[in-house]
Amino acid sequence: MSTVALTHIPLAQRARNILFRPRQEWDIIAAEDTPAKALYLRYILPLAAIGPVAAFIRDSIFGVSIPLVGHYRIPIGSGIAEAVVAYALTLIGVYVLAFVIAELAMAFGGEKSLPQALKVAAYSSTPVWVAGVLHLVPLLGILILFAGIYSLYLLYLGLPPLMRAPREKSVGYTLGVIVAAIVIYIVIGVIAGSLVTLPTASFTIG
């Protein structure tokens, strides 16, 4: 079977396909030979930046109004530092998720493959990354939660074709990945929090 590299598929087209026709797209992705470097450079890096950039613009450029409290704005320097840390943790988190997916594969009847697992981790994260633009509008922040739920659904759909796990074990595999990833992400967050201390945001009353 011939393979198709990610470099031949525009980012917007891949994102649209995985969002609106995931079952068909996972089968296409499973047959692709995409190096980790290309996946990061052409897909993960640009999409993962949406959320941190939007949050920076909201917090440091526009500021946020809180009823009965006032208007707060994070200093530009602090906002940049916060965005960089959030972005770095996202990039690390994708690889951590891929590692978890690969390590658990054989326990659920699948095949251990880090390259395939990285594709599952990256493409299933698409809804959350795209929804990151909603950080610009605090009132729409709840929609990011729904994007996260859809990402879990994409993970569930992607595990069988990419990791060659039986479909009847997809639910258990998905839950295993979620639990393990949450634990690792908490550890990463604690470490990052101990290394980075950001100044307090400034408030304007009224």
- Give the pTM: 0.86
Is 99 a residue whose pLDDT tops 90?
yes
Calculate the average pLDDT of the chain. Answer: 87
Q: Could you tell me if 145 and 102 are in contact, meaning their C-beta atoms sit under 8 angstroms apart?
A: no
- Asked if 144 and 72 touch (Cβ cutoff 8 Å), the reply is no
pLDDT of residue 196: 53
d(Cα 174, Cα 166) in Å, to the nearest integer? 12
Which residue, 178, 174, 173, 177, is CA-closest to 108?
A: 173
Q: Count CB neighbours of 172 within 10 A.
A: 14
* CA diameter of the chain: 65
pLDDT tens digits, 37-88: 999 999 999 999 999 999 999 988 887 776 666 677 888 888 898 889 889 9
What does the pLDDT average to over 100-115? 96
Is pLDDT above 90 for 176? yes
| Burial (Cβ within 10 Å: 0-12, 13-18, ≥19) of residue 120 | buried
